[in-house]
Amino acid sequence: MTEVVTTAEVLQPFVESDPNAGAGVLQGRMDDYGYLFFRRLLPADMVLEVRRHVLELCAAAGWLDPVRDLMGAVVAPTMQPTTEGKLEYMAVYRKVLRLPCFHAFPCDPALMIVASKLLGSDVLVHPRRIGRLTFPNNTIATTPPHQDHYYIRGSVETYSCWTPLGACPMSLGGLAVWPGSQKRGFIDHNVESPGAVGGCGVEVDPTKAVWHTGDFEVGDALFFHSYTIHKALPNLSGDRLRISTDNRYQRRDDRIDPGALRPHYDLD
């Protein structure tokens, strides 16, 4: 395994899992690492179709360079970065959440099979579908280290699945996870950060943290436990929008926070 050391950070490649492995194998690996990373789990044509629909909305809002290929997601030179909570962002995001293909995405059979192996046969996909439209040249908004349980509450045995809609090299700002960090249990989120959607993250000693990350190909998917510490890498692409999805899976009869049953940001 090749190790890359950057300023006070240790980045290592994801440990890949086989989606055809048995439930016991995948559950054991989740217990060990706190995540499962799958190469080309999803059909590429399906992922790219959802990407196209999202980018069409971004283009209609003037976010993208009209002389460049739509699927390249090149931001218009005059477009200033925007982010969640801002009116111009939310106007586009509301339309993204209304896309039937975006809403159907987390129920793809390949994702449901993995979720079923982790949770059993009666899986609930959270109705709160989440998308991220991450601009370049806006590193202050990069999501800091955190645990999803802080934000989603409900059952601890909830698994998130992060999937980019398209290829996502590290320079575009993919996700990084701290393997085994779920074993530490719930951690107080007392670090304020402008990049955290809820304003809070966890304190991480950079001399102790080891992050697993890498380039995502079209159709790759990353599942992780609600206690697993993870973060985004900054979008350093220079001119490209990063588009990704976050979806959550739990047992249907387990406790769930009412917010998870409503649209993201209550955008109906």
Give the tens place of pLDDT for each residue, 89-106.
999 999 999 999 999 999
On the question of pLDDT at 8 being above 80, the answer is no
Q: Give yes or no for a contact between 109 and 121, defined as CB atoms under 8 angstroms apart.
A: no
- Give pLDDT tens digits for 121-160: 999 999 999 999 999 999 999 999 999 999 999 999 999 9
Looking at residue 71, its pLDDT comes to 98
Q: What pLDDT does residue 20 have?
A: 98
Q: pLDDT band at 206, cuts 50/70/90?
A: confident
Looking only at the bridges linking them, the beta strands covering 210-213 and 9-13 are parallel
Taking only the tens place, the pLDDT of each residue in 194-204 is 776 667 899 99
Q: What is the pLDDT of residue 192?
A: 81
Give the per-residue pLDDT at 5. 40
**16-24: average pLDDT:** 98
Residues β-bridged to residue 3: none
Q: What is the 3-state secondary structure (H, E, C) of 139-196?
A: HHHCCCCECHHHHHCCCCCCEEEEEECCCECHHHCCEEECCCHHHHCCCCCCEECCCC
pLDDT at position 222 over 80: yes
Distance CA 115, CA 118 (A): 5
Q: What is the pTM assigned to this prediction?
A: 0.94
Residue pair 224/35 in contact by the 8 Å Cβ criterion: yes
| pLDDT one-digit tens code per residue, 152-196 | 999 999 999 999 999 999 999 999 999 999 999 999 898 887 776
Average pLDDT rounded to a whole number, residues 9-32:
97
For the chain, the structural domain boundaries read 9-251
Whether residue 2 is predicted with pLDDT greater than 70 in this model: the reply is no
Strand extents, DSSP E, the chain: 4-6, 9-13, 35-38, 123-125, 130-134, 159-164, 175-177, 191-192, 200-201, 210-213, 221-225, 230-232, 242-251
Give the Cα separation of 140 and 162 in Å (integer). Answer: 21
With tokens 């590290």, the residue in question is: 170
Strand pairing of 210-213 and 130-134? unpaired
Q: Which pLDDT score, from 0 to 100, does residue 1 have?
A: 42
Topology (CATH) of 9-251: Jelly Rolls (2.60.120)
- Contact (CB, 8 A) for 158 and 252: no
Which band of pLDDT confidence, cut at 50, 70 and 90, is reported for residue 55?
A: very high
What is the average per-residue pLDDT within 67-85?
97
Contact assessment for residue 62 and residue 76, using Cβ atoms and an 8 Å cutoff: yes
Helix (H, G, I), strand (E, B) or coil at 54: helix
The Cα–Cα gap between 211 and 222 comes to 14
